[in-house]
């Protein structure tokens, strides 16, 4: 199925559209299994979901979540860990049960086992109904950098230098950006029943264009989404400028 593309005026509208899709999915299925993403892009969407919880009683009490990835070596108390990010941006402000939120443990002694258990937990939950994604300037999804196999599963991955540079803005210096992460694989992501990818800003325009209409290649991880039966990209005008 071709990727559906929704172009919004700006970041606020993009965030509202994404939040509305998630809220509708939760209202339709209160025990929704929701895949979540971190990074700068989904912050506005989470802000909007918190507002809908507070003002419109959007109910997260039965929602189950799985995050895409976590840095290896950062504890949940580290402000740049993705557990910390999710608590701060969403979980602490809605009525989700913390035991229903799953993020790979970046401090694990046994990464292999952690990855297997994460996959198993997704399966036990019945699979992911709706997966939210960002995209890297290099076309990555989660920490599946260019060259990642399309059939990859949750595993330990090396973070590319470009991604470490991109993410250095959140740290004191690039030296502090971890070199490895635990990431859902591309095969894992593709099994989600519905995928919504958000991209904002001109820096993402190339990766977006290659993913939507370029050849499907492991060099552009998000290009595999052209084969997903239900995938929508929500873009602002700048991110859509090369389509």
Binding site for ligand PGA (CB under 6 A): 39-41, 134-136
Decide if 109 is catalytic.
Answer: no
> In whole angstroms, how close is the CB of 23 to ligand PGA at the nearest point?
20
Give the whole-angstrom CA distance, residue 206 versus residue 223.
12
Q: Measuring CA to CA, which residue among 30, 112, 27 is closest to residue 63?
A: 30
Q: Which helix (H) or strand (E) holds 66?
A: strand 64-67
Decide if 110 is catalytic.
Answer: no
| Cβ proximity to ligand PGA, 106 vs 136, nearer residue | 136
| Cβ proximity to ligand PGA, 100 vs 185, nearer residue | 185
Catalytic residue among 16, 48, 67, 69: 69
Give the whole-angstrom CA distance, residue 115 versus residue 110.
9
| Cβ proximity to ligand PGA, 100 vs 128, nearer residue | 128
Catalytic residue among 140, 167, 228, 236: 140
Here the tokens at position 61 are: 């009490």
Give the whole-angstrom CA distance, residue 148 versus residue 144.
6
> In whole angstroms, how close is the CB of 217 to ligand PGA at the nearest point?
18
DSSP letter for each residue of 180-231: EEEE--HHHHHTSSEEEEEE-SGGGHHHHHHHHHS---TTSGGGGGGG-SSE
Catalytic residue among 67, 89, 100, 138: 138
Decide if 92 is catalytic.
Answer: no
Catalytic residue among 129, 145, 166, 236: 145
- The residue of the chain with the least Cβ separation from ligand PGA equals 39
> In whole angstroms, how close is the CB of 124 to ligand PGA at the nearest point?
26
| Cβ proximity to ligand PGA, 21 vs 199, nearer residue | 199
| Cβ proximity to ligand PGA, 53 vs 204, nearer residue | 204
Tell the burial category of 171 from Cβ atoms under 10 Å away from its Cβ (0-12, 13-18, 19+). Answer: middle
Cβ neighbour number for residue 109 with a 10 Å cutoff: 7
Decide if 138 is catalytic.
Answer: yes
> In whole angstroms, how close is the CB of 203 to ligand PGA at the nearest point?
8
* Three-class DSSP category at 99: helix
> In whole angstroms, how close is the CB of 102 to ligand PGA at the nearest point?
19
Give the whole-angstrom CA distance, residue 16 versus residue 22.
10
Say which DSSP state 58 is in.
Answer: -
Active centre residues (catalytic): 69, 138, 140, 145
């Amino acid at each position: 199925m071709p990727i559906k593309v929704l172009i919004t005026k700006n970041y606020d509208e993009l965030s509202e559209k994404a939040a509305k899709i998630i809220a509708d999915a939760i209202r339709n299925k209160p025990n929704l299994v929701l895949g979540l993403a971190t990074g700068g892009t989904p912050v506005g969407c989470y802000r909007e979901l918190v507002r809908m919880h507070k003002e419109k009683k959007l109910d997260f009490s039965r929602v189950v979540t799985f995050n895409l990835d976590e840095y290896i070596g950062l504890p949940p108390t580290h402000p740049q860990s993705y557990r910390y990010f999710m608590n701060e941006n969403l979980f602490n402000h809605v009525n989700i049960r913390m035991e229903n939120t799953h993020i790979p443990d970046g401090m694990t002694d046994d990464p292999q086992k952690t990855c297997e258990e994460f996959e198993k937990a997704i399966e036990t939950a019945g699979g992911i109904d709706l997966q939210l994604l960002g995209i890297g300037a290099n076309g990555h999804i989660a920490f599946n950098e260019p060259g990642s196999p399309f059939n990859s599963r949750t595993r330990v991955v090396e973070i590319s230098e470009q991604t470490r540079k991109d993410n250095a803005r959140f740290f004191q210096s690039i030296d502090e950006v971890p070199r490895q992460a635990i990431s859902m694989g591309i095969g894992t992501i593709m099994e989600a029943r519905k995928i919504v990818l958000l991209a904002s800003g001109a820096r993402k325009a190339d990766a977006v264009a290659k993913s939507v209409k370029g050849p499907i290649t492991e060099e552009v991880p998000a290009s595999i989404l052209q084969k997903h039966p239900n995938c929508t990209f929500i873009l602002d005008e700048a991110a859509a400028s090369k389509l």
